């Protein structure tokens, strides 16, 4: 196999592009894909401060690495989920990466800051661990980014993640989620812009990049991943991809081009500050504060005040709170 770009010996094959690359040209290819993604959706400019949500896994560390190499002012945010040895190891990889690159790293420990960890929340609350994990991460990302003066939040969602999420949302025709499944979510009152610069790269490509760049990352899966429904959609997409390479890219990239405009959001939601924490929400209390109160056995608000229809609906079903599943219906990604 020869490298498509320089004709030297290739070290990695990308079937979807029907191409192989040597080490340097593959790194160039990955950077190009990220650069094109940033440009296509006008994700951020050279003066913006970008906060990368890092989990210790290959995608988020690869993203941070590419952004730093492209010359962006990119810091990292690690959320301590309290998932035993898995969390401890993830944190170590993130700290080592940040120290080696001399990049700013923010850390927020859920148990220290908010009094619960994800395994406890999964046992005590009504949500699955992945659901409360995703909700907590989105909440902490937004809050920390605002507090530390960042302009935009970048997450390491790759093409596989996005295709699997789109499949799940489509199977249930969750049109509201589909409408927001875009590589850029613009800022709204109190919510920072969120971007996914890896949406053009498959999981194999980000893994290849991390390996060839010598980035150490946590390889084992989160022990709670069994409950993550997105995993099943990923497996289904992998079956299709194995027999028809390019299916994932066609499904998701064609959606962006031709499908997404058909689902563009019609209804603007009114956001107001959560009465407990001040973060934006559509009800009196944000989903995070409600989930946290449930786990800690606390009562939220004044029991004498009659709840509005919207609040009742919000308590019955979190699905009616589009602003709080800001992130497109996917459960939190490991
Ligand atoms: Fe959180 Fe991912 Fe673990 Fe689920 S699998 S609990 S979303 S880290
Ligand atoms: Zn709140």
Q: How far is the CA of 29 from the centre of ligand 1 (A)?
A: 30
H-type helices in 103-151, by residue range?
110-114, 118-124, 129-147
Paired tokens of 194: 């969120």
What backbone phi and psi angles, to 5 degrees, belong to 212? -70, -25
Q: Which 3-state string (H, E, C) describes 297-330?
A: CCCCCCCCCCCCHHHHHHHHCHHHCHHHHCCCCC
Q: How far is the CA of 224 from the centre of ligand 1 (A)?
A: 6
Assign residue 112 a region: left if phi > 0, alpha if psi is -120 to 50, beta otherwise? alpha
Structural domain contains residue 174: yes
Cα–Cα nearest to 114, from 321, 272, 294: 294
User: Rounded to whole angstroms, how far apart are CA atoms 42 and 51?
Assistant: 16
User: Rounded to whole angstroms, how far apart are CA atoms 172 and 169?
Assistant: 5
| Ligand lying closest to the C-alpha of residue 288 | 2
Structural domain contains residue 6: no
Report if pTM > 0.75.
yes
Q: How far is the CA of 158 from the centre of ligand 2 (A)?
A: 29
Paired tokens of 22: 């040597």
Report whether residue 129 contacts ligand 1, using a CB cutoff of 6 Å: yes
Domain count, the chain: 1
Structural domain contains residue 132: yes
- The count of residues in the chain is 334
130 CA closest ligand 1 atom index? 4
pLDDT of residue 68: 98
Whose alpha carbon is nearest atom 6 of ligand 1? Answer: 130
Structural domain contains residue 293: yes
Structural domain contains residue 8: no
pLDDT of residue 305: 46
| Domain enclosing residue 111, as ranges | 38-325
Q: How far is the CA of 19 from the centre of ligand 1 (A)?
A: 33
Report whether residue 118 contacts ligand 1, using a CB cutoff of 6 Å: yes
Write the CATH number for 282: 3.40.50.620
Structural domain contains residue 272: yes
Structural domain contains residue 256: yes
Report whether residue 57 contacts ligand 1, using a CB cutoff of 6 Å: no
User: What's the CA angle centered on 105, arms 100 and 106, to 5 degrees?
Assistant: 165
pLDDT of residue 299: 87
Report whether residue 228 contacts ligand 1, using a CB cutoff of 6 Å: yes
pLDDT of residue 136: 97
Structural domain contains residue 7: no
Q: How far is the CA of 277 from the centre of ligand 2 (A)?
A: 4
Q: How far is the CA of 290 from the centre of ligand 2 (A)?
A: 7
Dmax (CA) for the chain in angstroms is 74
| Ligand lying closest to the C-alpha of residue 137 | 1
Digits of tens for pLDDT over the chain (334 positions)? 899 999 999 999 998 888 999 999 999 999 999 999 999 999 999 999 999 999 999 999 999 999 999 999 999 999 999 999 999 999 999 999 999 999 999 999 999 999 999 999 999 888 889 999 999 999 999 999 999 999 999 999 999 999 999 999 999 999 988 988 999 999 988 999 999 999 999 999 999 999 999 999 999 999 998 867 888 999 999 999 999 989 999 999 999 999 998 988 766 678 899 999 999 998 999 999 999 999 999 988 754 444 454 444 333 333 323 333 333 334 444 4
């Amino acid at each position: 196999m020869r490298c498509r770009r320089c004709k030297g010996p290739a070290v990695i094959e990308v079937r979807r592009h029907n191409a192989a690359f040597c080490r340097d040209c593959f790194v160039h290819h990955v950077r190009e894909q990220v650069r094109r993604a940033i440009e296509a959706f006008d994700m951020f400019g050279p003066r913006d401060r970008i906060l990368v949500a890092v989990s210790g896994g290959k995608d988020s560390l690869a993203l941070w690495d590419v952004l730093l190499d492209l010359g962006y002012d990119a810091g990292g945010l690690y959320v301590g989920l309290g998932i035993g040895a898995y969390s401890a190891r993830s944190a170590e990889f993130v700290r080592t990466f940040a120290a080696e690159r001399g990049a700013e790293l923010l850390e927020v420990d859920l148990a220290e800051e908010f009094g619960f960890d994800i395994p406890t929340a999964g046992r005590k609350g009504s949500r699955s661990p992945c659901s409360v994990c995703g909700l907590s991460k989105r909440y902490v990302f937004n809050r920390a980014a605002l507090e530390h003066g960042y302009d935009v939040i970048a997450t390491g969602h790759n093409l596989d993640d996005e295709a699997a999420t789109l499949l799940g949302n489509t199977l249930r025709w969750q049109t509201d989620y589909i409408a927001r499944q875009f590589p850029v979510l613009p800022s709204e009152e109190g919510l920072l812009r969120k971007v996914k610069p890896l949406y053009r790269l498959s999981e194999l490509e980000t893994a290849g990049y991390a390996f060839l760049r010598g980035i150490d990352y946590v390889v084992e899966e989160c022990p709670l991943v069994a409950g993550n429904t997105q995993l099943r959609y990923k497996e289904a997409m992998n079956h299709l991809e194995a027999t028809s390479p390019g299916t994932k890219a066609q499904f998701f990239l064609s959606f962006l081009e031709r499908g997404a405009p058909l689902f563009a959001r019609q209804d603007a939601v009114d956001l107001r500050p959560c009465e407990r924490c001040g973060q934006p929400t559509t009800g009196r209390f944000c989903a995070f504060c409600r989930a946290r109160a449930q786990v800690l056995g606390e009562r939220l608000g004044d029991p004498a005040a009659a709840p509005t229809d919207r609040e009742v609906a919000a308590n019955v079903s979190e699905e009616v709170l589009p602003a709080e599943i800001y992130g497109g219906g996917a459960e939190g990604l490991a």
